[in-house]
Amino acid sequence: MEAAGLMNQFPCLVIRGICDYLDSHKNKEWQGFAAITAAVYVKDIICQIRPSSIQAEKKLSEIILGLHDTVKENQDLAKQTLDHTKKQLKA
């Protein structure tokens, strides 16, 4: 659940270890096993990635700067729209 919003911001893959059935079997006993299984799976996936394909990807700092610029543009647009609406209401 913690990574749900993350995927909307930049390309990523979320691996979760599932340990709860949400029934009478729910307990914390299996949580560690689920985490280890997810970690081993992620390690295997990472070992399959070629370094050259990683170098071709955008850096996280570039993505964040792009998001910052987008937020600023939206703030400016919202302010202009609000100012325009206020002028129309006064007229």
Predicted confidence (pLDDT) at residue 78 exceeds the cutoff of 70 = yes
Determine the Cα–Cα distance for residues 33 and 17; give it in Å rounded to an integer: 8
What integer pLDDT is reported at residue 72 of this predicted model? 93
Determine the Cα–Cα distance for residues 32 and 59; give it in Å rounded to an integer: 32
pTM of the model: 0.46
DSSP letters for 41-65: HHHHHHHHS-HHHHHTSPPHHHHHH
Contacts of 20 (CB under 8 A, 6+ apart): 26
To the nearest whole number, what is the mean pLDDT of the chain? 83
Determine the Cα–Cα distance for residues 13 and 5; give it in Å rounded to an integer: 12
What integer pLDDT is reported at residue 1 of this predicted model? 62
Q: Where are the domains of the chain?
A: 1-57, 59-91
